[in-house]
Amino acid sequence: MRNTYKTSLNQIPALVKKHKHELFGHILNFGCGCGWEKVKEYLETNSNRFVTSYDKYSDEESINELYQTLRYDNVVCANVLNVVETREEMKEMLDDMIHVVGDPIYYFSVYEGDRSGKGCVTSKGYQRNERAVEYEAILKEYFTTVNRHGTIFICES
């Protein structure tokens, strides 16, 4: 897999804004990208939420050191699945994610790109260009409950 850390737009993902009031307790921002500080501040300000950020491709040790040692209530994965180049790498990522401590609710969003199903290299990395329904099938292999709302998925084990 290519370095996907810099594919993020350094902004608060729509997924986080839309579901802010559902997110509680300890939240893992999985595949956080370079905008992790903004998401952390947005969710933690004036709340009882604590955010741990993790991105396998980040060089910043501070965002990765606590990842596997804490218990999580929610996991947020915004626009990460769509930049993972192969299904095998996507499944490795999901395997890592489902082994976090706790029984969290998982929130995913995907960017469909041109919806052609033909992946391609972009100026910032890689884009799968798959429709949301393709990701739904993969998520159903990992989670008992998968609720899809357009390009957003809420999953539970």
Rounded CA-CA distance 89/70 in Å is 24
**Rounded-to-10 torsion of CA 152, 66, 25, 53:** -40
Q: What is the pLDDT of residue 34?
A: 82
Q: What is the pLDDT of residue 83?
A: 94
CATH topology of domain 5-156: Rossmann fold (3.40.50)
Q: What is the pLDDT of residue 6?
A: 52
Q: What is the pLDDT along the chain (157 residues), one digit of tens a residue?
A: 445 545 555 689 999 999 999 999 999 999 988 888 999 999 999 999 999 999 888 777 666 666 778 899 999 999 999 999 999 999 999 998 998 889 999 999 999 999 999 999 988 889 999 999 999 999 999 999 999 999 999 999 9
Q: Which two tokens stand for residue 26?
A: 């300890």
pTM: 0.92
Q: What is the pLDDT of residue 151?
A: 98
